[in-house]
Chains A and B, each alone.
Chain A
Amino acid sequence: MMQGVLHQVISGIATGGIYASVALALVMIYQATHHVNFAQGEMATFSTYIALTLINIGLPYWIAFIGAVAISFAIGVAIERILMRPMENAPVLASVGVFVGLLLIINSLSGWLFDYTIKQFPSPFGSGTPLFGGYVSSHELGSTAVTLIVLIAVYMFFRHTRLGLGMRAAAFNPVSARLVGIQVGWMLALGWGLAAAIGAIAGMMVAPIVFLDPNMMAGILLYAFAGALLGGIDSPLGAVLGGFAVGIIENLMGAYVVGTELKLSVALIIIVCVLVVKPSGLLGRKVTSRV
């Protein structure tokens, strides 16, 4: 029994890392625009198809990986520049409409370009025998490592680079950011690019487990959203911790309480509970201000 629980927790951490990445992508765009990008998951799926295409034309895995991340970054920037820019001052419902439209467009595009059949996606970490006495597969270990590297790199970027500081300033206070000479429009586009790149990595890490089809990320986006809300939708650190927590909760509930069939409802229950009990999430924004 104990071993079983441990196993569930460890694989919960592995999937939680995926949720954490997607949650971080959601939070990055939320912080800058105060909108949740419903299309984040479909964008990640599309990126994974790009990676698969690059692998199929004979590129080594990691080259395809980097290529897919770079292309996804460019697509993210382009979406912001072309679709989101004209919506800058649009009412909330109009923006929501654009996000939903984007979701449907990218989903159909994935199906149309790459067809709807379920495809296998390779893992760079092999599918060899489970490690550490059977607790963890090599892919789980590898993808968790990749996720952690991504999260740390993103953290370092925002904390310790001038560009990262500029992006945070543009998100917190666009008017003041312009007054110190920051090109706020480009910072938003860059944020979209980064979010798309992070989503691409999450997609490539989860695809070997759940297999690739145009709806691959639909459920994952829901878990990620639950994670982001749990941690606080305006807190990047909260979103990451929330993502991991949701991964573990989901696995334990699936194994011992509700069964795998009802796992997705766990995400919905978490979303409802957070909204009712603590809408700002566990690490929601704490701005102290004195007048």
Chain B
Amino acid sequence: MLAPPKVPSPPNVPALPNVPALPNVPALLDVKGLRAGYGETQVLHGIDFAVAHGGVSALLGANGAGKTTTLRAICGMLRRSGDIRLDGARIDASATEDIVRRGVAHVPDGRGTFLELTVEENLRLGAYTRPADEARADIMRMFGYFPRLEQRLRQQAGTLSGGEQQMLAIARALVLRPRLLLLDEPSFGLAPLIIAEIFVILRRIRAEEGVGMLLVEQNASIALDFADQAYLLETGRIVVAGPAEDIRRDEAVRRSYLGY
């Protein structure tokens, strides 16, 4: 009997146009088949996405879609399975502290500010894993982005306004000198003017620090303006993926998923 003619398997086309396609240059963050949940409840049902070196990927979706869970799963803050690689090295079995020490800074849901401590102590904590002299220089550098923090240095962080706390949270994450910055809804609860100010600063940071970002947002229009790659999450699955530019222009997607 003749063997059936061999059909050449399709070449491994990279699914994500903005992620470097060179086989030997892994993405900054490469996630495949990520599943995670709380206790018995599974929230993420196997999602794939990536962040390029120095690039910005946005995770969009409604409340409860699993955006925050995705960030927590990357940081090892909850039970997860799947393949998570930072610069090619697997981090899906590592503890939170170790993932942080490998250069992943997380500005969590609720900002994670140490409310009882001063602004300065919060910043020193951000640089906890770094040598003291470098930490000091980096904290000074943050005042270039966030001059208001310098004025509030000795103030208890709990007394800052929402916008100032968000700035403190971003500065605290940056003094870690991360390769990857995870941002969980930086616009949450802030006035439109403050949101705009924060995104102006994030653009500067992106240009000057060369840090890759994974941005979780409910405010899709802001996120799509800022990101170069976007993923739409719906109940724990990615339903649309592609360049942010394309998604922004796709009226059907915008209407049915993003509601604007």
Interface residues, chain A, CB within 8 Å of chain B? 162, 165-166, 168-169, 172-173, 175-184, 285, 287-291
Contact = CB atoms under 8 A, between A and B. Distances in A.
Interface stretch (B27-35, B56-64, B111-119, B223-231): B111-119
A175 B100 CA distance: 12
Contact of B117 (A172, A178, A182, A290): A172
Given A178-B97, A288-B159, A290-B158, A165 B112 contact: no
Contacts of A287: 115-116, 156, 158
A165 B124 contact: yes
A289 B77 CA distance: 25
Interface stretch (B126-134, B214-222, B247-255): B126-134
A289 B115 contact: yes
A282 to B, nearest CB: 18
Given A169-B117, A183-B97, A289-B158, A175 B112 contact: yes
Given A165-B124, A173-B112, A289-B115, A180 B129 contact: yes
Contacts of B108: 175-176, 179
B97 A285 contact: no
Nearest to A166: B128
A233 to B, nearest CB: 15
B158 A180 contact: no
Contacts of A166: 125, 128
8 contacts: A169-B114, A169-B125, A173-B115, A175-B108, A179-B100, A181-B129, A287-B115, A290-B160
Contact of B114 (A173, A183, A288, A290): A173
A182 B156 contact: no
Nearest to B121: A165
Contacts of A172: 114-117
Interface of B: 75, 77, 96-97, 100-101, 105-106, 108, 112-117, 121, 124-126, 128-129, 132, 156, 158-162, 172, 176, 189
A289 B111 CA distance: 13
Given A175-B112, A180-B100, A288 B158 contact: yes
B69 to A, nearest CB: 15
B138 to A, nearest CB: 13
A288 B97 contact: no
Contacts of A291: 162, 189
B139 to A, nearest CB: 13
CB-CB nearest 8 A-B residue pairs? A176-B112, A289-B158, A181-B129, A181-B100, A178-B96, A181-B101, A180-B128, A180-B125
A290 B75 contact: no
Contacts of A162: 124, 128, 132
A165 B127 CA distance: 12
Given A162-B124, A169-B117, A179-B75, A290 B97 contact: no
Given A169-B128, A180-B100, A290-B162, 17 more contacts: A165-B121, A165-B124, A165-B128, A169-B117, A172-B114, A172-B115, A173-B112, A175-B112, A179-B75, A179-B100, A179-B108, A180-B129, A180-B176, A181-B100, A288-B158, A289-B158, A290-B160
Given A181-B101, A288-B156, A291-B162, A165 B125 contact: yes
A166 B100 CA distance: 15
A154 to B, nearest CB: 17
Nearest to A285: B116
Contacts of B124: 162, 165
B77 A290 contact: no
Contacts of B113: 176
Which of B77, B100, B112, B116 has the most chain A CB within a 10 Å cutoff? B116
A89 to B, nearest CB: 12
Contacts of A181: 97, 100-101, 128-129, 176
A79 to B, nearest CB: 23
Nearest to A234: B116
A288 B159 CA distance: 6
B159 A290 contact: yes
A270 to B, nearest CB: 26
Contacts of A182: 97, 125, 128
A175 B109 CA distance: 11
A179 B121 CA distance: 15
A48 to B, nearest CB: 34
Contacts of B156: 287-288
Contacts of B75: 179
A285 B158 CA distance: 13
B112 A290 contact: no
Which of B106, B115, B160 has the most chain A CB within a 10 Å cutoff? B115
Contacts of B112: 173, 175-176, 179
A141 to B, nearest CB: 36
